[in-house]
């Protein structure tokens, strides 16, 4: 069974400088459809941050939630309208450090449900939910695209005023650090699925998960 291989993927890695990042926690929610493992996805409500995007259940870690698994289970329960008793925690899968200053803890959970109709998801945060078989991701590779990102030491505000963020000249650093530097190709993965496209951070998490899953089977 795939679920047995999933349970072998638990690890606990240290992230240096963790306290400097925006911290969030998400779950990869697995459940059975006619005996086959599926992953549940959400489409975010249009009115909230990242509205209209496909994501995994999760959110920002609250200060009193020292263990990010508490965040993952809380957010999964609240967003899906599912009692915590029906969320079986499998363990921590890993971390994702994004190019945009966020650290996302990823956890594996098993939803003790038989059908998506059992979920009374929070419509203020979630527009819709859907699931895809784990087998789909095992058998299909994502399309790969790239976007450039740079370190920008200064910028112009809405009034046309120059705002200096990093005073490279003040410290006698090389001239190149007074201008945007370090063009970096940021990978963007796309899974063409129905009813929604799975892409970006969500696709990165699923891609890594499936890659490790293949190695453990």
d(CA 146, CA 125): 29
pLDDT for the residue numbered 36: 96
How many CB atoms are closer than 10 A to CB 27?
Answer: 29
CATH number at residue 89: 3.90.79.10
Model pLDDT for residues 152-171, shown as the tens digit of each residue: 899 888 998 989 999 999 99
Enter the DSSP assignment of 194.
S
Nearest to 55 by CA among 39, 47, 43: 43
Q: Is residue 122 part of a domain?
A: yes
Q: What are phi and psi of 100, to 5 degrees?
A: -110, 20
Structural domain tally of the chain?
1
pLDDT for the residue numbered 15: 62
Average pLDDT of the segment spanning 132-139: 97
Q: Is residue 101 part of a domain?
A: yes
Q: Is residue 163 part of a domain?
A: no
Q: Is residue 187 part of a domain?
A: no
pTM given for the model: 0.84
For 65-121, the DSSP string reads --SHHHHHHHHHHHHHT--GGGEEEEEEEEEEE-TTSEEEEEEEEEE--S-GGG---
Q: Is residue 17 part of a domain?
A: yes
Domain that holds residue 80: 2-137
Element (H, E) at 44: strand 36-44
Model pLDDT for residues 74-121, shown as the tens digit of each residue: 999 999 999 999 999 999 999 888 877 788 999 999 999 999 999 999
State the average pLDDT for the chain: 89
Model pLDDT for residues 9-64, shown as the tens digit of each residue: 666 556 667 777 788 999 999 999 999 999 999 999 988 877 889 999 998 887 65
pLDDT reading at 211 higher than 60: yes
Q: Is residue 177 part of a domain?
A: no
Q: Is residue 7 part of a domain?
A: yes
pLDDT for the residue numbered 145: 97
pLDDT for the residue numbered 182: 79
């Amino acid at each position: 069974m795939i679920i047995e291989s999933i349970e072998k993927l638990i690890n606990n890695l240290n992230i240096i400088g963790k306290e400097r990042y925006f911290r969030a926690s998400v779950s990869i929610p697995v459940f059975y459809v006619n005996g086959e493992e599926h992953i549940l996805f959400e489409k975010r409500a249009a009115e909230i941050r990242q509205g209209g995007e496909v994501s995994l259940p999760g959110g920002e870690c609250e200060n009193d939630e020292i263990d990010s698994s508490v965040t993952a289970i809380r957010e999964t329960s609240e967003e899906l309208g599912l009692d915590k008793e029906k969320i079986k925690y499998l363990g921590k899968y890993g971390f994702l450090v994004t190019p945009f200053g966020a650290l996302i803890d990823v956890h594996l959970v098993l939803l003790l449900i038989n059908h998506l109709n059992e979920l009374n998801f929070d419509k203020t945060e979630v527009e819709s939910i859907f699931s895809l078989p784990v087998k789909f991701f095992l058998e299909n590779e994502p399309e790969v695209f790239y976007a450039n990102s740079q370190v920008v030491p200064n910028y112009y505000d809405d009034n046309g005023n120059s705002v200096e963020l990093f005073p490279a000249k003040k410290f006698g650093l090389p001239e190149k650090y007074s201008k945007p530097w370090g063009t970096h190709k940021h990978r963007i993965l796309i899974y063409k699925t129905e009813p929604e496209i799975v892409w970006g951070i969500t696709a990165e998490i699923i891609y890594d998960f499936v890659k490790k899953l293949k190695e453990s089977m």
